[in-house]
Structure 1
Amino acid sequence: MNGSLHPARKVVDIKLKRGPAGLGFNIVGGVDQQYVMNDSGIYVSKIKEDGAAALDGRLKEGDKILAINGIKLEDRTHSATVELFRTAGEDVELLVLPKLPAHMNGPTSSPPDGDSSSSSSSSSSFGVLAALLGAAAVLAFIVMRFQPQLRKHF
């Protein structure tokens, strides 16, 4: 045990054969469109059903792609990375850092699945809090409004 809170993640080498619909996944990130705060990496945002990535089964939403065919993606813009994918050929080799499992405590290196930003958890918490406060206010209004009428019926 090295004292780390998170077990070391192994980089995975994934080889995909481009199908009729491409490689079958979408990406987010880049130096111009950071998906994870303080990280300009490229992340898998969506795996398309029945695409090459889904059929292979190893690439997951939230995984960080480190390289395409040996070309590192560090410090690249989103559009430059998209162009690398477009010109990568039929057989594509990806170097991937898998997403941390969702059940682990503490901050993760990538946001939840989907295309939402990393602030979606806090904004949804505020939404729940606002809804609860609104419900409490309505309930208090009803109790105060009808309290005199309730006394008349007793």
Structure 2
Amino acid sequence: MNGSLRFSPNVVDMKLKRGPAGLGFNIVGGVDQPYVDNDSGIFVSKIKEDGAAALDGRLEEGDKILAINGVQLEDLTHGAAVDHFRTAGEDVELLVLKKFPLHMNGPSDSQPDHQSSAFSLGMLAALAGAAVLFSFIFTRHIRKHF
């Protein structure tokens, strides 16, 4: 792990106290089960309601967990990462990279979607044109009957 990453504004150091239901979140990823394209890291897949993570409020689905109790999770299998979480003890320190927009599997193109904006404007123009046409026909029809 890059040492300068710890000081990134998107990296958060948080401490959780294990509750009756554990830490209160599920993880995915690992070198044997990559969750994100070209990244074999460990990611939060679900925050359990009323669990330790939900009560703390900082951990979110999609966040990448870089380390637990100082142990880096880089280049581990999913099972090895799960073992680290299971044996972490009651007080757990996590180093977390907060999720980025479009960080999860999905379109790999990071360009904004201008096509949907153009489509919306086109639909708006078509509806406005239809309204004008309807008004024109309606007023001509009314004039004929009076």
**TM-score normalised to the size of structure 1?**
0.62
User: Residues 26-45 of structure 1: CA distance to partner in whole angstroms, max 9, x if unpaired?
Assistant: 00000000000110000000
TM-score using structure 2 length = 0.66
SS of 1:84's equivalent?
helix
Matches within 5 A, 1:115-126: 118-119=105-106
Question: Higher Cα Rg: structure 1 or 2?
Answer: 2
Deviations 1:95-145 (A, max 9, x none): 000001x4xxxxx3x21xxxxxx2489xxxxxxxxxxxxxxxxxxxxxxxx
The answer to whether structure 1 residue 44 and structure 2 residue 44 are counterparts is: yes
Q: Within 2, Cα distance between the matches of 1:119 and 1:72?
A: 26
Pairing of 1:8-27 with structure 2 (within 5 A): 9-27=9-27
**Aligned twin of 2:57:** 57
Q: How does 1:5-154 map to 2 (within 5 A)?
A: 9-100=9-100, 102=101, 108=102, 110-111=103-104, 118-119=105-106
> Alpha-carbon deviation of 1:24?
0.2
User: Runs of 5+ in structure 1 lacking a partner?
Assistant: 1-7, 103-107, 112-117, 122-154
- Kept after mapping to 2: 8 A contact 1:24/1:54: yes
2:54 match: secondary structure: helix
Provide the C-alpha distance between the structure 2 equivalents of 1:80 and 1:44, rounded to a whole number of angstroms.
Answer: 15
Aligned-CA RMSD value: 1.6
Q: Indicate if the aligned counterparts of 1:9 and 1:97 stay in contact, CA closer than 8 A.
A: no
Aligned residues: 101
Structure 2 CA distance, aligned partners of 1:70 and 1:48? 24
Residue identity matched to 1:52 = A
| Residue 9 of structure 1: how far off its partner (Å) | 4.2
Question: How many Å separate the matches in 2 of 1:74 and 1:47?
Answer: 21
Report if aligned partners of 1:9, 1:98 keep a CA contact under 8 Å in 2: no
Distance 1:34 1:71, change over 3 A: same
CA distance 1:79–1:95, change in 2 (3 Å) = same
Indicate the percent of aligned positions where both proteins have the same amino acid. 76
Q: Which residues of structure 2 form unaligned runs of 5+?
A: 1-7, 109-146
Q: Evaluate the alpha carbon distance shift between residue 83 and residue 65 of structure 1 in structure 2; reply closer, same or farther with a 3 A threshold.
A: same
